[in-house]
Amino acid sequence: MKNPFRRFKPFCIHAGLTLLTAGGVFLAGISSPALGQGVPGGLAQADFAGNDLSGFDGGAVFVGQPRLFSESGKVKILLLALNPFEITESAAEQISLILEKNLSNTGHFSVVGFREANAYFDTKKAELVDCRQIACGVESGKMLGADRVLVGTIHQKADHIQMTIRVINVSNNLTDFRDEIHFTDDNMDDQLFRLSNSISSNTLIVGRVLSTSIRGIVVDMGEKQGLRIGDFMVVFKQEVPINNLEGENIDTQRKNVAIVKVLRVNATSSEAILIHSVEDPQANFLVQTYLNPARQTALLEDTRRELDTGIRLENKIKPMELAPVMLADTERKRWQYKMNAAEGNESFWYMMTGAGGVATLVAMNLYQPTAQGQLQLGGALAFAGYSFWEVLNAREKTNEVKQEGRAKGYVISPVMMNDGFALAAAFRF
Mean pLDDT of 187-213: 91
Mean pLDDT of 194-210: 91
Residue 331's identity, in one-letter code, is E
CB-count exposure of residue 281 (10 Å: 0-12, 13-18, 19+): buried
Q: Quick one: pLDDT band at residue 45, thresholds 50, 70, 90?
A: very low
For position 410, what pLDDT does the model report?
A: 66
For position 240, what pLDDT does the model report?
A: 63
Q: Quick one: pLDDT band at residue 154, thresholds 50, 70, 90?
A: very high
For position 68, what pLDDT does the model report?
A: 81
CB 44 within 8 A of CB 130: no
More confident: 244 or 327: 244
The length of the chain, given as a count of residues: 429
Pairing of strands 109-112, 174-183: unpaired
- The distance in angstroms from the start CA to the end CA of the chain is 106
Mean pLDDT of 205-214: 89
Q: Quick one: pLDDT band at residue 79, thresholds 50, 70, 90?
A: very high
Mean pLDDT of 76-83: 92
CATH architecture of the region 11-201: 3-Layer(aba) Sandwich (3.40)
Question: Which of 69-78, 174-183, 300-309, 417-426 reaches the highest mean pLDDT?
Answer: 174-183
Q: Quick one: pLDDT band at residue 416, thresholds 50, 70, 90?
A: very low
- Check whether 76 has a pLDDT greater than 70: yes
Q: How far apart are CA 389 and CA 384, in angstroms?
A: 9
Mean pLDDT of the chain: 77
More confident: 418 or 169: 169
Q: How far apart are CA 7 and CA 337, in angstroms?
A: 101
The single-letter DSSP state of residue 86 is: S
pLDDT in tens, 330-361: 777 888 888 888 888 888 888 888 888 888 88
Per-domain residue ranges of the chain: 11-201, 205-242+251-316, 326-408
Q: What proportion of the chain, given as a percentage, has pLDDT over 90?
A: 33
DSSP three-state, residue 250? strand
Interacting residues of 170 by C-beta distance below 8 A, sequence separation 6+: 138, 141, 142, 146, 147, 148, 149
- Exposure b/e, 17-39, CB count within 10 A at least 16 = b: bbeebeeebeeebeeeeeeeeeb
Angle at 177 between CA 176 and CA 181, to 5 degrees: 165
DSSP three-state, residue 260? strand
For position 26, what pLDDT does the model report?
A: 41
Task: Please spell the DSSP secondary structure of 136-185, one letter per residue.
Answer: HHHHHHHHHT-SEEEEEEEEE-SSSEEEEEEEEETTTTEEEEEEEEEE-T
H-type alpha helices, 202-324: 293-316
CB 273 within 8 A of CB 223: no
More confident: 67 or 318: 67
Q: How far apart are CA 110 and CA 384, in angstroms?
A: 93
CB 140 within 8 A of CB 160: no
pLDDT in tens, 262-300: 999 999 899 999 988 888 899 999 999 999 999 999 999
For position 57, what pLDDT does the model report?
A: 40
Q: What proportion of the chain, given as a percentage, has pLDDT over 70?
A: 75
More confident: 174 or 415: 174
For position 319, what pLDDT does the model report?
A: 53
pLDDT in tens, 26-40: 444 444 443 333 333
- Check whether 60 has a pLDDT greater than 50: no
Mean pLDDT of 390-413: 78
For position 48, what pLDDT does the model report?
A: 34
Domains 11-201 and 205-242+251-316 agree in fold: no
Interacting residues of 373 by C-beta distance below 8 A, sequence separation 6+: 363, 366, 367
Closest alpha carbon to 177 in 201, 202, 197, 200: 202
Q: Quick one: pLDDT band at residue 419, thresholds 50, 70, 90?
A: very low
Range name among 179-188, 199-208, 369-378 with the lowest pLDDT average: 369-378
Angle at 92 between CA 69 and CA 70, to 5 degrees: 5
Task: Please spell the DSSP secondary structure of 202-224, one letter per residue.
Answer: TS-EEEEEEEE-SSEEEES--GG
- Check whether 181 has a pLDDT greater than 90: yes
Residue 107 vs residues 110, 122, 136, 223, 319: alpha-carbon distances, Å: 8, 29, 27, 10, 49
Fold assignment, 205-242+251-316: Thrombin, subunit H (2.40.10)
Range name among 13-22, 312-321, 348-357 with the lowest pLDDT average: 13-22
